[in-house]
Structure 1
Amino acid sequence: MMHFKELIVWQKAMSIAREVYRLVPHLPREETYGMRSQITRAAVSVPANIAEGWARESSREKAQFLAVAQGSLAELETLLMLCEQIGWFPVKETEELHRLMNEVGRILTTMRRRRREEGEGK
């Protein structure tokens, strides 16, 4: 079995986290413990849960962690959209990030479906 670091979805999720850390210094200083903290936690949760799920033995456990990663991705998307609507992040600055998040979301959906099918086949 391949190591989680070899997974394209994990690599792309790490790119998302790095990009989020590049963006958050542009948030207002008073958001250090509010929006900044919440955005970075959601961004880090995506690759962390992919890695933890990949290390699990059962398909059911893997699927659970992939579901958490997908939930964190949805949370991150919501927070970024709010920051864009407030005017903290210019939409032009987040276009690539949204593209990456959509791609990771599609991959996670496919992976979760496969895990469910593996679990049903047992």
Structure 2
Amino acid sequence: MRFEKLDVWKRASRLSCQIYKETEAIQNWGFKDQITRSGLSVPSNIAEGEERETIKEKIRFLYYAKGSLGELVTQLYIGIEIGYLSKQSSMEMIKEAKEIAKIIGALIRNKESQIKEDNADYKI
């Protein structure tokens, strides 16, 4: 399946776009760069993983995407605390990030079970 057809990729892409819009006025370039990079990393790693040849590689990039979501959620909480981001929109983005992380976790488990099934087929 092409990554563009994956709902999780679409949701992660929309979240990344929202982060760019929400941080547009932030003057602290270090914070702005870090939070936009972690948000951009999620759909990028989903896409890169889907373009890989082996299931193990696909899983590795899903783990990267999931890790970037953890970074993003942390940065959103900090952005709220230091007054850079609105609490309401940030909490909505945190909720979406956590839902995307659950979907990615399920994809990882599904792909890992495929590996186990494939390995079981080769046992004598």
| Both proteins in one fold, TM over 0.5 | yes
For structure 1, the residue ranges without an aligned partner over 5 or more in a row are none
Indicate the SS of the match to 1:25. Answer: coil
Task: Tell me which of 104, 107, 121 is aligned to 1:111.
Answer: 107
Give distance in 2, aligned partners of 1:79 and 1:66.
20
Counterpart of 2:22 in structure 1 is 23
Instruction: Work out whether 1:49 is the aligned partner of 2:45.
Output: yes
Letter in 1 for 2:98: N
Letter in 2 for 1:88: Y
Backbone CA RMSD of aligned residues:
1.0
Give distance in 2, aligned partners of 1:94 and 1:82.
10
Give distance in 2, aligned partners of 1:87 and 1:26.
12
Per-residue deviation, 1:36: 0.5
Indicate the SS of the match to 1:62. Answer: helix
Per-residue deviation, 1:102: 1.4
1:29-61 deviation digits (Å, cap 9, x = unpaired): 2x11x1000111111100000001011121111
Letter in 2 for 1:113: R
TM-score by length of 2: 0.90
1:67-92 deviation digits (Å, cap 9, x = unpaired): 00000110011011101111211211
Per-residue deviation, 1:115: 1.2
Counterpart of 1:94 in structure 2 is 90
Give distance in 2, aligned partners of 1:67 and 1:55.
15
Q: Which has the higher contact order (CA 8 A, sep 6+)?
A: 1
Indicate the SS of the match to 1:26. Answer: coil
For structure 2, the residue ranges without an aligned partner over 5 or more in a row are 120-124
Decide which structure has the larger Cα Rg and report it: 2
Per-residue deviation, 1:9: 0.3
Aligned residue pairs total 118
Give distance in 2, aligned partners of 1:7 and 1:94.
24
Per-residue deviation, 1:98: 1.6
